[in-house]
Amino acid sequence: MEGASRSTRGSPGRLYVMKADGTGVRRITDDIADETDPAWSPRGDWIAYVRKTPGTDARELWLVRPDGSGRRQLTSLSATSESPAWSPDGRRLAFSSTRGGLRYQIYRVDIDGKGIRRLTRSPADAFEPAWSPDGKTIAFARAGSIVTIDSHGNEKELTDPANNDSSPAWNPKPPGKQG
């Protein structure tokens, strides 16, 4: 079992993988860019991450194999993109981005870099996307509440904004299927 992390050993941030017990640490990126937000694909064959090239304000999504090979840019939005989250089938990523404005909105992109689609249109920042286990819904944080959006664009506010909720995460096993 391996994990991915960001480290500032030899700043700027680089991506590392290691065994679950903390041994076998290996740097998988070696670039002058700042690299953050690693997210493993469901099958463990890719790691999505955010990369900021020095001298720019843009933060783009990139992919890399766990052994450091196959590194490639996924988005070219000239914006700040963050929080990549894999769809359960591993074919898409949801993320938040300031593309086209100052507010963060939720987007999705196919892993070939095509099919970028804006999912939310909100006057408040929308961030921290999380796919439902069936891949039909994305939860995200907006203005202190947790909101979901389905594949038809229908949104539903789940929590009271007064609670200042954030960081949605789905239970991967439905109730009654635990074990």
Model pTM score: 0.88
**Quick check: is 169 in a domain?**
no
* Binned average pLDDT, 10 residues per bin, the chain of 179 residues: 50 84 90 91 96 91 96 96 97 96 95 96 95 96 97 95 94 69
**Quick check: is 176 in a domain?**
no
C-alpha 31: how far from its chain's center? Answer: 20
pLDDT of the residue at 54: 86
**Quick check: is 147 in a domain?**
yes
**Quick check: is 120 in a domain?**
yes
CATH code assigned at 120: 2.120.10.30
Q: Say how many domains are in the chain.
A: 1
pLDDT of the residue at 6: 44
**Quick check: is 171 in a domain?**
no
Domain containing 130 equals: 2-163
**Quick check: is 98 in a domain?**
yes
pLDDT of the residue at 76: 95
**Quick check: is 179 in a domain?**
no
**Quick check: is 6 in a domain?**
yes
SS3 assignment for 100-168: CCCCCEEEEEECCCCCCEECCCCCCCEEEEEECCCCCEEEEEECCEEEEEECCCCEEECCCHHHCCCCC
